[in-house]
């Protein structure tokens, strides 16, 4: 059974450790579907790659485990690519 990229992307987006999807350096982590593109999930015959932007202060190991769990049981290995870490919200006022 082929994994569903949109379902995986939606499940991963709901994680508190994940600030958003990451499509890789040149957009290579994506799945093309009729009329749209699912950024951050690439499904290949040998693996599923999920690209994410972490939310600070999540650790890479903990976030990768959460992403794999959210993707659910799949028929191939899941690779997690962390492309960036989002800055934490700040309460400090910035002056020009």
In this prediction, residues 33-56 reach a mean pLDDT of 96
Tokens 């690519």 sit on residue:
81
pLDDT of residue 87: 85
Q: What are phi and psi of 7, to 5 degrees?
A: -65, -40
- pLDDT band with cut points at 50, 70 and 90 for residue 34: very high
């Amino acid at each position: 059974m082929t994994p569903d990229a949109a379902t995986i992307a939606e499940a991963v987006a709901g994680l508190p450790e994940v600030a958003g999807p990451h499509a890789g350096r040149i957009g290579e982590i994506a799945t093309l579907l009729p009329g749209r593109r699912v950024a951050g999930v690439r499904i290949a015959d040998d693996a599923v790659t999920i690209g994410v932007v972490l939310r600070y202060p999540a650790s890479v190991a903990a976030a990768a485990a959460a992403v794999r769990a959210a993707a659910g049981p799949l028929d191939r290995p899941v690779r997690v690519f962390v492309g960036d870490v989002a800055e934490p919200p700040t309460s400090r006022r910035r002056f020009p």
